[in-house]
Amino acid sequence: MPRYRLTLEYDGGPYNGFQAQADQPTVQGSLEHAVTAFCGETVRVHAAGRTDTGVHATGQVAHIDLAKDWPAETVRNALNAHLRGEPIVVLEAEVAVGDWHARFSATERRYRYRILNRPSPPALDQGRVWHVKAPLDAGAMHAAAQVLVGHHDFTTFRDVACQAKTPVKTLDVASVARVGCEVVLVFEARSFLHRQVRSMTGSIAEVGLGRWTADDLKAALEARDRTACGQVAPADGLYLTGVSY
């Protein structure tokens, strides 16, 4: 039974997250329906990350197991044909080797968060950025974000509904840079807690707005207390941009 590795791009706005749910539109559900329409098989799509409601992806990775040995290009083209009209695209499809697994074989996940930082709201990027009117100090945000890098207990930045066995994670990269009217945050780690990126982003933004200092961010981390978290950034600006194996 061949396993196919899929690289996906999608707009998470119309979906109630990635994971399939009864009577709710989800990315996983749409993909599974497309597979059935293509080859008649009922399969489970396994993804590297279960993105939340409204979260987007430019480099999500998933896999499916099919009974028939199809050319990878046929799988990609057929799924895209049956996804027409939905904001989900299979960018690449290839045959996986050995026991490779989209989720369990991943060694790093990369997220990008886009903040539109100008007085005027977005026209073309509505639903794809977090609009913050007040000026943000991207340099201060980047400097403060470095206190989060490393091996820590991230309870403060963990959603209360998180099902991870431990709040301890290793954050490899936390960078902030201004690109024109946008402030872009990049996070890299082997894995993340539920809503960790959005929670960290909202707290780092408090520094950019001048309401927090780097010491305040460090104190919030060390509190290991969800109530110490700053605002939680909305899903609109968050993208899963890549997965390494």
CATH number of the domain residue 206 falls in:
3.30.70.660
Those residues whose C-beta lies under 8 Å from the C-beta of residue 39, and which sit 6 or more positions away, are: 66, 68, 70, 78
Residues 132, 223 within the same domain: yes
Query: Does some domain include residue 103?
Result: no
Is 81 inside any structural domain?
yes
**160 and 224 share a domain?**
yes
232 shares a domain with 112: yes
The answer on 138 and 71 residing in a single domain is no
Quick one: 123 exposed, middle or buried, by C-beta within 10 A (0-12, 13-18, 19+)? Answer: exposed
pLDDT, average across residues 113-122 = 98
How much is the CA Rg of the chain, to the nearest whole Å?
19
* Whether residues 86 and 60 fall in one domain: yes
Same domain, 113 and 25: no
Total domains in the fold of the chain: 2
Q: Do residues 185 and 129 share a domain?
A: yes
- Could you tell me if 28 and 114 lie in one domain? no
Could you tell me what percent of the chain has a pLDDT over 70? Answer: 100
- What six digits make up the tokens of 80? 């895209």
Q: Are 115 and 205 in the same domain?
A: yes
Q: Which two tokens stand for residue 222?
A: 């060390």
* 24, 124: one domain: no
Catalytic residue selected from 11, 23, 52, 159: 52
Using pLDDT thresholds of 50, 70 and 90, give the confidence band for residue 210.
very high
Same domain? 83 vs 136: no
Residues 118, 87 within the same domain:
no
Angle value at C-alpha 185, between 179 and 186, nearest 5 degrees: 115
Q: What is the pLDDT of residues 61-79, one digit of tens each?
A: 999 999 999 999 999 999 9
Residue in 240, 211, 18 with CA at minimum distance from that of residue 114 = 240
Q: What percent of the chain has pLDDT over 90?
A: 98
159 in catalytic set: no
What average pLDDT does range 190-198 have in this prediction?
97
Domain's final residue, options 39, 69, 95: 95
pLDDT tens-digit readout, 85-107:
999 999 999 999 999 999 999 99
Structural domain boundaries enclosing 179: 108-244
